[in-house]
Chain A
Amino acid sequence: MSYQHTLDGRVWHFDNLATLLAKASPYRSGDVLAGVAAESPVERTAAKMALAEVSLSRFLAEPVVPAELDEVTRLILDSHDAKAFQPVAHLTVGDFRDWLLGELADEATLTAIGAGLTPEMAAAVSKLMRNQDLISVARKCRVVTRFRNTIGLPGTLAMRLQPNHPADDLGGILAGVLDGLMYGCGDAVIGVNPVSDDMTTLATLLRGLDEVIDRFEIPTQSCVLAHVTSQLEAIEAGLPVDLVFQSIGGTEATNQSFGITLSLLREAREAAMALGRGTIGSNVMYFETGQGSALSADAHHGVDQQTLEARAYGVARAFDPLICNTVVGFIGPEYLHNGKQIIRAGLEDHFCGKLLGLPIGCDACYTNHAEADADDMDTLMTLLAAAGVTFLIGVPGADDVMLGYQSLSFHDALYLREVFGLRRAPEFEAWLATMELADERGRLLPVSPRHPLLTLQG
């Protein structure tokens, strides 16, 4: 159906819900590139006003991507929990924002309605929210997951340790692992992006990481972020696979461009669960997403990139992941032009993920051809920590020498812990204390040159 709103004497028309959502989106280069953005700030405001009056239940009646074309839409509709939706079913998008900010929406209530919300509802309300709204509502959401440690407890921030190497050299990767552990990072996952997807490389990396975790009894999990089919092959070959990773998107065609289907993800999850490698929990999946992936795969169906990103979370939550993160500034300036757009997108992604019940973190990052720098990352990580982000990604010196972009550093995690009093996953923090790497409050201790971890290389 079509929507309209009169603003300053002019009637603005919007052909359908997808158009309305796109026109109501904060300005960003990817929506302009896709040709779906509002033509002017006034049109954008009119779209937001029209969107505020749309009933949440309308989103169940008018999918932004037709169900007959798209298995992600079918997943979203089939898994919608009408009972959980009940408390907010009568609200418009505008009233929903007010409700979320109010005292009625406490942690328990937000957890209870999660399964009743579709990704499009979350995206819609985020478009009416200021950055501070995205922070304060996300902060009220709580999602806790477990594999070998507990991620997402109140007052904690986990870190993925990302020790990539441009030639997949195990020695170089372990040097990065050592660096991260010494700085108290690695509780979310020790996760390597391999250059090569071949089985020999995978075997070397999986065995190498497993040996370190086993030898030093580190309460964490490893992941080699190859294509899911390669990881399935690794499982079949008897290699030590903790978490199974895959990049996912918000439409079936985007997922096709990644070489995956929902049934392939189901198969991967079952295979990883069957290994039973988690000691205290069985959240075995790890996903990455990012605004713009659908447009870059020419698979966006005229829907704005932030709504499609929320739909990717609809995919992710169906597989009970241990962790999921948006790679928010990785994709390039044609999708998120500058620091302002990257920061806004990071907060939107985190909010939508949390509202939908996802253990969502963020790779707060930028490329060298975007109008962004390390100060923008300082702002983003500080805001995300205020919003209660589940985990962030740390790379030695923030410089990923394999993927050629800048994320956060291990030092950045120390900064956030100091400023916000954030702790690590409790099992991991206890391990750091046992290893005399941190004190009982989680602060780093001076390290002896004969510390056993320094033999990790030998």
Chain B
Amino acid sequence: MTNDIDSSLEPPAPKPPTVVHDHWIGLRSLTPSRIALGRAGHAVPTRELLRADAAHARARAAVHAPLEVASLRAELEAVPGLAPPLEVRSAASTRDHYLLRPDLGRRLSAESRQQLRDVSSAPAACDLLLVIGDGLSTSAVQRHAVAVVTAITAARPANWSLGPPVIATEARVALGDEIGKLLRGQLVAMLIGERPGLSCQESLGIYLTWQPQPGRTDAERNCLSNIHPGGLSPSDAASRLWWLATEARRLATTGVALKDRSSSFALANASTERITPPTAQ
């Protein structure tokens, strides 16, 4: 291919860059969104593609990794001022079963129900019962639940009694209703792993329900969400929970009738205008 000798004398044409970078990358300080990724042809460049893959893998792990109950139990036993924890599981027998049958995640297994019936003949009724449920992010529970329980226990007002903390696996929010009724809690607070996103896989939510019993609806609960290092801190979550609990006792209710004015922090209604109820728990 030497038919054009002159061409070898000209400087080579500049090659187009393999990856086109975006000038507005500085705007990333304004949003956690994946903006200014650049492109390889029409596609996301390899580096960003793999970064997203890693985030998805972490989110999948958050959903599917089993809760390490023994270590959670040991940590809860070390929290000052708290009775030894109980352990229960829902009627969903496996994680896949749990994901496909939310109704089973809202009921205790027969064994756990009997266990709580046996226990409930012993301890007195309590003002607030804490249930720690794995929900849709076991990582959130594993990483943050003890800190939140510790903060709640430390901030307990003098005229409030706490029941024994309950660790619940394959749990949906409403599982707290049956547990709360069996253990005679005036209020139940379900601390539960929230549905993980790509950018945050470890967010914890707290659902507070007055006079828990099976059949309570989401409209009868108050919710604190977004509890993780980049969101609501354990101590803020604890103080807001006690504010809600005190109001719940005063009004003898939770839910839509109890407006959360404890701070301007947004409640967990992010997806109310989408096609599902916000909790989907």
Contact = CB atoms under 8 A, between A and B. Distances in A.
Contacts of B271: 193, 403
Interface stretch (B38-46, B109-117, B241-249): B38-46
A331 B275 contact: yes
A227 B34 contact: no
Contacts of B201: 368
Q: Which of B136, B195, B201: most chain A Cβ within 10 A? A: B195
B100 A175 contact: no
Q: Which of B28, B37, B56, B274: most chain A Cβ within 10 A? A: B274
Contacts of B59: 368
Contact of B33 (A32, A165, A257, A369): A165
A446 interface: yes
Interface in B226-281: 266, 269-277, 280
B127 to A, nearest CB: 31
A357 B272 CA distance: 28
A330 B273 CA distance: 12
Contacts of A257: 277
Interface in B133-175: 136
A197 B24 CA distance: 30
Which size class do A's interface residues fall under? 35 or more
Nearest to B196: A368
A33 to B, nearest CB: 7
Given A404-B196, A411-B44, A172 B33 contact: yes
B220 interface: no
Interface string B20-37: 101110011011111111
Given A293-B275, A327-B274, A398-B52, A405 B34 contact: no
B102 A334 contact: yes
B35 A179 contact: yes
Interface in A177-211: 178-179, 182, 193-197
Nearest to A328: B275
A288 to B, nearest CB: 6
Contacts of A194: 273
Interface string A294-334: 00110000000000000000000000000000010011111
A174 B24 CA distance: 12
A257 B274 CA distance: 12
Interface in A76-123: none
Contacts of A398: 34, 52
Contacts of B23: 447, 449, 451, 454
A194 B270 CA distance: 7
A169 B30 contact: yes
B69 interface: no
Main SS at interface, chain B: loop
B197 interface: yes
B55 interface: yes
A48 interface: no
Contact of A399 (B30, B34, B103, B195): B34
Interface in A33-57: 33
B33 A396 contact: yes
Contacts of B100: 29, 32-33, 333-334, 337
B195 A404 contact: yes
A368 B60 contact: yes
A171 B24 CA distance: 13
A229 to B, nearest CB: 11
Contacts of A179: 22, 24, 27, 33, 35-36
Given A290-B275, A293-B275, A399 B20 contact: no
A327 B55 CA distance: 22
Given A165-B33, A176-B33, A457-B27, A368 B101 contact: no
B31 A169 contact: yes
Interface string A342-370: 00000000000000000000000001110
A173 to B, nearest CB: 8
A283 interface: no
A227 B273 contact: yes
B31 A330 contact: no
B198 interface: yes
Interface string A401-415: 111111001010011
Contacts of B56: 368, 373-374, 406
B199 interface: yes
B62 interface: yes
B68 interface: no
A405 B59 CA distance: 10
A369 B30 contact: no
Contacts of A401: 31-33, 197-199
A397 interface: yes
Contacts of A331: 275-276, 280
Q: Which of A174, A332, A397: most chain B Cβ within 10 A? A: A397
Interface string A143-175: 000000000000000000001111101011111
B275 A197 contact: no
Contact of A402 (B36, B42, B270): B270
Contacts of A32: 100
A247 B102 contact: no
A428 interface: no
B280 A332 contact: yes
A296 B276 contact: yes
Interface of B: 20, 22-24, 27-28, 30-37, 39, 42-44, 48, 52, 55-56, 59-60, 62-63, 99-103, 136, 195-201, 266, 269-277, 280
Given A179-B24, A245-B273, A405-B197, 19 more contacts: A171-B31, A179-B35, A193-B274, A247-B274, A249-B275, A290-B274, A292-B276, A368-B56, A368-B59, A368-B62, A368-B63, A396-B34, A397-B34, A399-B55, A404-B195, A406-B56, A409-B37, A411-B39, A447-B22
16 contacts: A163-B33, A175-B27, A176-B33, A179-B35, A292-B276, A297-B277, A367-B195, A368-B198, A396-B31, A399-B198, A399-B199, A406-B56, A409-B37, A411-B44, A451-B23, A457-B30
